[in-house]
Structure 1
Amino acid sequence: MPTKTRIKDYPKWVVTAMWVSALLIAVGSYRFLIADIALVMPAMLHHALERPLMFYLHIGLAPIALALLPLQFSNGLRKARPAVHRWLGRLYGAAILLAGVSGLWLAYTTEEGPVAAVGLGLLSVFWLWTTGVAIRHAMARRIAQHRVWMIRSAALTLAAVTLRIYLPIGAVTVGFEASYPIICWLAWVPNLVLAEWILRRGRGAPMGATA
């Protein structure tokens, strides 16, 4: 089983940049509340028009899971307020359950082609699976296993961040239509590979944990 690690094992700027990015993306995802979907999410307009329930479940709840990550990986909160950590974990799991199921449906009905559909569909499946296993271990008080699976879940939740890094790069290089199907894989596969690399190197505790 992977051992715990200390936050000093990771560059502080990397941890800070990751959590700040997660919070900014989470907040920015609610721009649809003050602007027309056609303006702020044109590629998703067909979902908003044809399947609004699934669409708004996904874009409304996925940012909640993203925003909760820094709190759930906070060593201070986990030690000082374990009950808060558990309740936020339940909220994180519920948000991913609904966002993942709706994301799977949006992937199935996407108009961006089969490559994008399979990429997004597998992301939803693995997101639901890793989070479900993490919660199951937490309920059984298998804390070490819970932390390992939460790292995998977090890697997939952070696909929301990497997606937004790749989208403008793809748009200004080969264009949205050509790049989007590949980005639907790039947004999460490298994240999960990196998580597995960290775990296999024995860094199985959340960032912020101490030995």
Structure 2
Amino acid sequence: MTTTTPLPKTAWWRRPWIVPLMLVVAAFLAFSVPPYLTFDPAHSRLEPPRGNDLYYPLLVAHVLFGTVAMATACFQVWPAFRARHRAGHRITGRIYVYAGALPAGVLGLYIGWHTSAGPSVLVANLVGSALWLVVTVHGLRTALLRRYDEHRRWMSRSFALAMSIALSRVINVPVMIVLTPQVDSAFGGNEELMRNTATSIGVWLSPLLLLLLTDWILERRKGRRPARERSAPEPAVVQQWSNA
């Protein structure tokens, strides 16, 4: 029988990104979700395709599942919550996967395929949704196989993809500012083409930036961890998925 020395706990205030992250997610959801709670297509931020009565209900479902994913993901990446509330971490993890990322990703494939924002946005949405599904399923698989260090890394990438929708909205603002003066020159006076181009830049760039940032952080932390810590079992998550 082997014993391991408990790792020192880090005070919540030494994780300065937790509170800003939750505030950003709360602000984004407060701005983005309410129009869809009316279940009125006239309030949709995405124009439903003509003659497709299935699009809007599935869009609402996609938004609601995505809301669940973004809200629960914040608790999944919160180290203090993960360490001190194992049952809560396990429950929110299952909610994130089964009631958030997976259904939102599947519906995202349909929504992306029927976008009216042009082929570049269509491909970006399909690639983003498919990648989110693959990364999340692989993260779940590594947990079931009890490869917990890999599990954390893959679910960190899943978290990054879940948050990319918020970053894309932020990116769209400066892109629109830059492209608007070029409507008559670069876009031949076509404002819709300019807006679609701005949207395309946002949906391609946001997941790329977040995945690069996530892997940089993961590699940086991996290099800082002592060898004995990297090889030690992680009791805080040992039972996370084994009782599913």
Tell me the TM-score normalized by structure 2. Answer: 0.71
Match of 2:91 among 79, 87, 92: 87
Do residues 66 (structure 1) and 70 (structure 2) align? yes
Structure ranking higher on relative contact order (CA contacts 8 Å, 6+ apart)? 1
Percent same amino acid among aligned pairs?
A: 26
What is the 5 A alignment of 1:170-209?
170-174=175-179, 175-203=194-222
1:158 to 138, 145, 163: 163
Could you tell which deviates more after superposition, 32-41 or 125-134? 32-41
Matched ranges for 1:18-29 at <5 A: 18-29=21-32
| Cα deviation code 1:157-200 (max 9, x no counterpart) | 11022012122333333252331112120121111111122223
Whether the aligned pair in 2 keeps the contact of 1:137 and 1:143 (CA below 8 Å) is yes
How many residues align? The count is 201
Q: Displacement of 1:79 after TM fit? A: 2.5
Shift of 1:49: 5.0
- Contact 1:25/1:63, CA 8 A, preserved across alignment: no
In 2: Cα distance, 1:126 partner to 1:84 partner: 27
Q: Which moved more, 1:92-101 or 1:166-175?
A: 166-175
Q: CA deviation at 1:81?
A: 2.3
- The counterpart of 1:101, out of the listed 80, 85, 106, is 106
Q: How does 1:126-137 map to 2 (within 5 A)?
A: 126-137=131-142
Change (3 A) 1:184 1:22: same
Which of 183-192 and 17-26 deviates more? 17-26
In 1, the alpha carbon distance for the partners of 2:34 and 2:53 equals 17
Q: Does 1:140 align with 2:159?
A: no
**Where does structure 1 lack aligned partners over 5 or more consecutive residues?**
none
The separation in 2 between residues aligned to 1:14 and 1:146, in whole angstroms, is: 21
Please say if 1:114 is aligned against 2:119.
yes
What value does the CA root-mean-square deviation take over the aligned residues?
Answer: 3.0
SS across alignment from 1:46:
coil
C-alpha displacement of 1:89: 0.7
Q: Larger helix proportion, structure 1 or 2?
A: 1
1:29 alignment partner AA: S
